[in-house]
Structure 1
Amino acid sequence: MNSKYLFTVTDQAFVTLGTNDSLRNHMTSRKLAILITSHVSSVMRTVLSAVFDEVIDVDEIDSNDLVHLALLKRPELGVTFTKLQCWTLTQYSKCVFMDADTLVLCNVDELFDREELSAAPDSGWPDCFNSGVFVFRPSLKTYSLLLQFANEHGSFDGGDQGLLNSFFNNWATTDIDKHLPFIYNLSSSAVYSYVPAFNHFGKDAKVVHFMGSAKPWNYQYNPRTTTVTERSSTPGPQNQLSFLVLWWKIYSASILPLLEKLKGTEGSESQREKIPTGNQQKVTSGRQSPDVTNSITELSIQLKPEEPSAEDERRKWEEGHIDYMGKDAFEHIKKKFDAFLQ
């Protein structure tokens, strides 16, 4: 074992808003911290405490910016403002934030050599950084300024990424050292990237980001055949299947046994805490009970079913798959136009 992994840097941490055990598997020398809200049940809190060094309760913050969120067709992203509270973790001198839908493929402790705000360019608009992975320095002053900026200016996309790009508005031009290589925040889907480059450089990826609608928990996993299958009729990108399988293998090996153990040691029905489902997406692996299934996606912000991305919608229209009787009916389209014009 390399001696560099025999110690822990106690004043630095990876921070997330969801269950992500891939960092632990790659022997990071930094702490692991997770922010959770009151939506997380005691069962899931126990599991998270077994995975993370620090489980931190925070209040949910929602932008409530329905107009800008409608442009993305992602109304659920308003609660990503909760992420801003990572700047309150002043017990750490430097942190790396990672979204819940990221998968770490190797040790990435070198990210702590970077300064605030270091991030990779967004594949949709490279002069903006993608806020799924970024290096920052906790500071109550910065947190206060972020809240003030949010109140005065809002976010151009209604979520945390628009806000952070406006706040750190010199990222694109001031210091190239704050531009992380794309391999630290690689979109798992070629739909979001330059396909030849994905095929050429993808093997060097260090952190994969499941952007868009193809989240691992929206798939079914068969532990016997170690394969994933789609839950919808819309085909998913084939080139990300290996990443999806890896995510499920880590989840099945590290998280699912803890959930099942807790399930087996629960008391009577009157003592058992009912895990809220709300609009959460259910996931099945072929051997889970319903309550365990509901626990899978109960993270610090309640994950809701993904709306199809704009790219998915466009592709379905081009292929002639139009839901004339459902969401693509004339009255629904007219409502969208009316809302936009207002």
Structure 2
Amino acid sequence: RIYSGNVHREAYATILHSAHVYVCGAIAAAQSIRMSGSTRDLVILVDETISEYHRSGLEAAGWKIRTIQRIRNPKAEKDAYNEWNYSKFRLWQLTDYDKIIFIDADLLILRNIDFLFGMPEISATGNNGTLFNSGVMVIEPSNCTFQILMDHINEIESYNGGDQGYLNEIFTWWHRIPKHINFLKHFWVGDEEEIKQKKTQLFGAEPPILYVLHYLGIKPWLCFQDYDCNWNVDIFQEFASDVAHERWWKVHDAMPEQLHQFCLLQSKQKAQLEWDRREAEKANYTDGHWRIKTQDKRLKKCIDNLCSWKSMLKHWGETNWTDDGFFTPTPPTITMASLSGL
């Protein structure tokens, strides 16, 4: 298909399946796209597990919702994190668009990236010399390509067990774009202090130097606002950055106030955060973030049927915030009309 350059046939897209915990991230991502000055369509693919309540928030944030049937990864274990991540292949069925910039729901657009619509499929940043990262990528919807993706799911082995490894096997001719267009919030073990400082400066630069900041580890909206909770978990400290954390929360605070309800914390997550803080205190982590007493107003706001998160700590087991248990949100479903006066 010849690239038409028709802005009405170009869109940003993301996908949510099997978990509502990324709804807040998708809302913030939409906010960041609009703050960058882009007016392209925003399309989000969701499956039946995403409730009407959460869909209302996504729509109010500007996402056009497309309901999909999930695609199971046949090589994944039942209930594993990667069981349904082949659902991303549905992006190629968005044939009412010529070009899609796919973005993961856990990133922020800091500078306008509309110029990527002029790039061919697949354009993405490199994970290393030969493989691309599928967190930001330019695709060209095509039912033919979708069928190719589906035809080989039983035979192709993904190097990481997920869609990224699979897509790298299919799109071996990908086009490399600069890493600033999908910059990972991550410090390598062994990074020299000078490198850490340079990365931190990039995370907080004003005006922004990075185009996209991709939040790895525990997501900002699942931490308290006061600091990056990755500090309190040993295996996640490589993802910890208070500067990047603060940057995400600035975008959150710029969202219409009625959208903030979609970033409230479940009681289980509050308990998880306190558990991690206590473990960090026991280990006496030298960064000292465990000493900070949270001032986050979400601590005292309850959105589930069981509000006593402190009592959960007495019987803390294997269950944590990743479970997709149903809960009853207390705020009312909102509509675009309710935001018209903001």
Q: Please state which band the TM-score falls in when normalised by the shorter chain.
A: 0.5 to 0.7
Q: Identity across aligned pairs (percent)?
A: 27
Report the AA paired with residue 248 of structure 1: W
Q: Equivalent residue for 2:50? A: 40
Q: Equivalent residue for 1:190? A: 187
Q: Equivalent residue for 2:151? A: 148
Q: Equivalent residue for 2:322? A: 304
CA distance in 2, matches of 1:249, 1:194: 27
Query: Using a 3 Å threshold, how does the CA distance of structure 1 residues 30 and 280 change in structure 2: closer, same or farther?
Result: farther
CA distance in 2, matches of 1:215, 1:236: 13
Q: Secondary structure at the match of 1:151?
A: coil
**1:245 paired to 2:250:** no
Aligned 1:11-26 pairs, distance under 5 A: 11-17=9-15, 18-19=26-27, 20=29, 21-26=31-36
The total of aligned residue pairs comes to 261
CA distance in 2, matches of 1:192, 1:142: 39
Q: Secondary structure at the match of 1:86?
A: helix
- CA shift for structure 1 position 25: 1.4
CA distance in 1, matches of 2:140, 2:270: 32
Q: Equivalent residue for 2:111? A: 106
Q: Equivalent residue for 1:54? A: 64
Query: Using a 3 Å threshold, how does the CA distance of structure 1 residues 140 and 257 change in structure 2: closer, same or farther?
Result: same
Q: 2:220 aligns with which of 216, 222, 235?
A: 216
- CA shift for structure 1 position 230: 4.7
CA distance in 1, matches of 2:181, 2:155: 32
Report the AA paired with residue 144 of structure 2: K
Q: Equivalent residue for 1:290? A: 302
Q: Equivalent residue for 2:18? A: none
Q: Which runs of 5+ in 2 are unaligned?
A: 1-5, 16-25, 274-293, 307-320, 324-342
Report the AA paired with residue 10 of structure 2: Q
Q: Secondary structure at the match of 1:38?
A: coil
CA distance in 1, matches of 2:115, 2:242: 27
Q: Equivalent residue for 1:175? A: none
**1:65 paired to 2:75:** yes
Q: Secondary structure at the match of 1:190?
A: coil
- CA shift for structure 1 position 229: 4.3
CA distance in 1, matches of 2:268, 2:70: 16
Report the AA paired with residue 184 of structure 1: I
Query: Using a 3 Å threshold, how does the CA distance of structure 1 residues 107 and 233 change in structure 2: closer, same or farther?
Result: same
Query: Using a 3 Å threshold, how does the CA distance of structure 1 residues 144 and 194 change in structure 2: closer, same or farther?
Result: farther
CA distance in 2, matches of 1:80, 1:180: 24
Q: Equivalent residue for 2:335? A: none
Check conservation: 2:11, 2:97, Cα contact below 8 A.
yes
Q: Equivalent residue for 1:28? A: 38
CA distance in 2, matches of 1:245, 1:194: 22
CA distance in 1, matches of 2:96, 2:191: 40
Q: 1:91 aligns with which of 92, 96, 102?
A: 96
Check conservation: 1:220, 1:231, Cα contact below 8 A.
no
CA distance in 2, matches of 1:255, 1:11: 27
User: What RMSD over aligned residues (CA atoms) do the two structures have, in Å?
Assistant: 3.8
CA distance in 2, matches of 1:179, 1:85: 23
Query: Using a 3 Å threshold, how does the CA distance of structure 1 residues 189 and 77 change in structure 2: closer, same or farther?
Result: same
TM-score (norm 2): 0.65
Q: 1:120 aligns with which of 100, 125, 130?
A: 125
TM-score (norm 1): 0.65
Report the AA paired with residue 179 of structure 2: F
